[in-house]
Amino acid sequence: MPGWAAPDYVRLHAAGRPDRLACVDLATGRRWTYAALDRSIACCVTVLIERRIGAGDRVAVLARNSAWQLILQQALMRIGAIFAPLNWRLASAELDAQLEDCEPALLVSDDAARPLAEACSHDCGRAAFADLIAAVDGAEPAPAGEPADADVPSILLFTSGTSGRAKGVIVTERNAFFTAANFGVLGLVDNRSVFLCDSPLFHVIGLLTSLRPALMQGGAIHISAGFDPATTYRRLADPELGITHYFCVPQMAEMLRFAPGFDPARLRHLVALFTGGAPNPPENIRLWLSESVRMVDGYGMTEAGTVLGMPVEPGIIAEKAGSAGLPAPTLSLRIVSDDGLEMPADAVGELQIKGPNITPGYWRRPAETEAAFTTDGWFRTGDLGRRDADGFVFLVDRKKDMFISGGENVYPAEVEAALAAHPDVAEAAVIGVSDPKWGEIGHAAIVLREGADADEAAILAHCEGRLARYKLPRVIHLLEALPRTASGKVVKSELRALLS
């Protein structure tokens, strides 16, 4: 389907429903109708052109959530440039590696992230978000130009890989359109929908799944600087805000239950609490359902957006609790064995997917892009699952060693590399272990060099400057040796049993 123009929902709704509420920045209280949002985006285009940002240029952002990230992304889309939001929780060495990959023409940071931005050694233009906002508010809107190509890179979302170095996932506007359509159908989104977004905007859930479906339908978005159990619960329960859709990892939903004054009856107006990013026990889903709050589990990934989702039907939620749901409407899914044969119902295999929502590949990583797809064009998710006789998919395990801690992906290879850089560490292996608060936490098995006397605290202190805090192992085990195969590979199943 060549020749697509990038869809511009804001411009469309600014003409068709100009006075309809589009976006609220909860940190400042500033509100935009669709007409006002369209004007801010057009003014941002003016500012970007004045800064010589053009088609294909990358603009990186290091900032807490705000409506201005949405405005900046949409302005970059209009001129064919690329938005690259970066994780402000990274260590400076990790951030430098991502900046080296995407080579931005401009790095924009807010006040909180400015020290991290200033610590980066990458040579690029810098801008404070406050200065950019002031410039946009003082600019005249750029005239509407020709729409950008929907099939060129529009967004770069960095995701860690088993190689231990982050990869930039390319998202085109075609990908983003079908991600919005897929969740819109599964999540019953329409022009009355009101989303609360406090998922980080450097994640696919924040930037795409929490924003695009509402914009597509002409609904409203309330953007929060971040998750706080008491504040988030108060907003979800506030009838004046009228929130209908909210995404969270299961651990965040559990924290909501302990918010001051928690009463599930005040959340019954929600279409659902949409969960993903970590295993969600069936008994937890049924508990919310018993209180007349639909908890709808799903499965997605940076490379594909929404892949699976449960129907928003209480009877099906109760019957199929534990399932990640049905495949999104524009996506094909197959479950295959290691030799590529499709598996029968209830047999476990790798989930492979195909559809217009799937990334064309990784930024400047042709070999990894090629490896991610089968020869007949299916994307390898690396996750194992089974499909029951009714078509519902249940995730079983991860084919890779990645684990999820507090909704954040952690790849052991990355952590192991940081541990191994300590001069007293001879070998290191990391596994994810179940944890009631975070879902999973990292346990590191370490073999010290002969004669070394480093303790656990010293090893962790060494890693703190090299890894984001959520990647740091919570428990360190000092071992005499790691269990290995005859070929020298660490046997993590044996290591798990040993650490247990």
Distance CA 141, CA 37 (A): 11
The residues, any chain, with a CB within 8 Å of residue 367's CB and separated by 6 or more, are none
Long-range (24+ apart) CB contacts under 8 A made by 233-240 are: 233/259, 233/261, 233/262, 234/259, 235/26, 235/196, 236/196, 236/266, 236/267, 236/270, 237/263, 237/266, 237/267, 239/269
pLDDT in tens, 141-156: 999 989 999 999 999 9
Fold of 403-499: GMP Synthetase; Chain A, domain 3 (3.30.300)
pLDDT in tens, 370-413: 999 999 999 999 988 899 999 999 987 666 677 889 888 787 87
- 9-393 in CATH: which number? 3.40.50.12780
Identity of residue 321: A
pLDDT of residue 453: 80
List, in sequence order, the alpha helices (H) in 341-455. 366-372, 412-420
Cα-Cα-Cα-Cα dihedral sign, residues 276, 471, 371, 386: negative
- CA-based nearest residue to 212, from 260, 178, 242: 178
| pTM passes above 0.75 | yes
Distance CA 159, CA 305 (A): 13
Cβ atoms < 10 Å from Cβ of 60: 26
| 9-393 and 403-499 have identical folds | no
pLDDT in tens, 447-491: 998 888 888 888 888 888 789 999 999 999 999 989 875 445 677
Distance CA 396, CA 405 (A): 17
Q: Give the position of tokens 């993903």.
A: 276
Distance CA 377, CA 123 (A): 38
Mean pLDDT of 313-323: 96
pLDDT of residue 256: 95
Q: Hey, where are the domains in the chain?
A: 9-393, 403-499
Inter-axis angle of helices 34-50 and 129-138, nearest 10: 110
Task: Label residue 315 by pLDDT band (50, 70, 90).
Answer: very high
User: Residue 236, class by beta-carbon neighbours within 10 Å (0-12 exposed, 13-18 middle, 19+ buried)?
Assistant: buried
User: Residue 218, class by beta-carbon neighbours within 10 Å (0-12 exposed, 13-18 middle, 19+ buried)?
Assistant: buried
Mean pLDDT of 412-426: 84
Distance CA 219, CA 224 (A): 17
Q: Phi/psi class of residue 292: alpha, beta or left (left: φ > 0; alpha: ψ in -120 to 50)?
A: left
How far does the chain reach from its first CA to its final CA, in angstroms?
A: 52
- The pLDDT mean for the chain works out to 92
Q: Is the separation of the CB atoms in 336 and 349 below 8 Å? A: yes
pLDDT of residue 190: 97
Mean pLDDT of 74-78: 98
